[in-house]
Amino acid sequence: MIRFGGRAHAGEGVAGVENAVGVGAVTGLLVTLDGPSGAGKTTVSALVADQLSRAGLPVLHTAQPSRSALGQLARRGTYKYHGAALSCLVAADRYDHLTRVIEPALAEGQVVVCDRYVPSALVLDRLDGLDAAFVWNLYRYIRWPDLAAFLAADVVTCLERAAARGHYSRFHGHDLAMAGREAALYREAAGELERHGHRTVVIDTTAENPSAVAARLADHVSAVRRDGPISSD
């Protein structure tokens, strides 16, 4: 399933990205990928960054938590920190990463492809006992993505993929019921972003080859570049 801001867009292929924008016309664009553990974010984000780069666009592939000392503390601290403490720690890394890495790249006209961003906080922080209002308020000054991609997959498939990859966080390795709640919260987060006027795309990766998913996402990047910004409330 693919949903793009409530509107359907026909696929163009990677070449469409270059044709739609032209290398000389590139301006910064923030593309984020979020979704349950095992949905394929890390693999697809790397592939879409590569496809966009091969199409002639300047691309930065990055991830959150970041590689900074602050980001690694957040990544490794999920067993030590809980609730608001962990939420604020991750938010601090997110704001720092935005200032030091993402915004400079956008200012240079790069397409920034980020593996996890604020939408994950709207899910994981709630799984950790916080309410949505707390999370929205914590990120009231954040730069929101130009395209927020949500990867989804069958719950059992996600659990099997995550187990095969290995767990490094207490947010991995859920039982079936918790994994189902996580998936539902990601669907809710996608709907919330769309209602706030942000461009969203939801792609089901259960039976899709990662390269095909990346190609579809590259098509949506092309559509964002072609259509320009949309209003937000």
Q: What is the pLDDT of residues 84-106, one digit of tens each?
A: 999 999 999 999 999 999 999 99
Q: What would the pLDDT profile of 67-85 be if each residue is shown by its tens digit?
A: 999 999 999 998 899 999 9
pLDDT band at 25 (very low <50, low <70, confident <90, very high): very low
Q: What is the pLDDT of residue 193?
A: 95
Mean pLDDT score of the chain, rounded to an integer?
84
End-to-end CA, the chain: 26
Return d(Cα 130, Cα 77) in angstroms, integer. Answer: 17
pLDDT on residue 17 = 37
- pLDDT given for residue 171 in this prediction: 66
Task: State the Cα–Cα distance between residues 186 and 176, nearest whole angstrom.
Answer: 15
C-alpha span between 173 and 217 (Å, rounded): 27
Helix orientation angle between 41-54 and 14-21, rounded to the nearest 10 degrees: 50
Q: In which band, very low, low, confident or very high, does the pLDDT at 37 lie, cut at 50, 70 and 90?
A: confident
pLDDT value for 170: 59
4 close to 199: Cβ distance less than 8 angstroms? yes
User: Residue 229: what pLDDT?
Assistant: 56
Over 60: is that where the pLDDT of 9 sits? no
Backbone angles phi, psi at 35, to 5 degrees: 155, 170
- Local structure of 201: helix, strand or coil: strand
Task: Give SS3 for 148.
Answer: strand
**For position 186, what pLDDT does the model report?**
95
Q: Check whether 167 has a pLDDT greater than 50.
A: yes
For the stretch 207-231, pLDDT in tens is: 889 999 999 999 999 889 887 655 4
Domains of the chain: 19-63+109-227 (3.40.50.300)
- Whole-angstrom Cα distance, residue 205 to residue 160? 13
Whether the per-residue pLDDT at 145 is higher than 80: the answer is: yes
Closest CA to 86 of 100, 63, 65: 65
pTM of the model: 0.84
Q: What distance in Å separates the CA atoms of residue 162 and residue 67, rounded to the nearest whole number?
A: 21
Q: What are phi and psi of 129, to 5 degrees?
A: 100, 0
Instruction: Say what the pLDDT of residue 7 is.
Output: 32
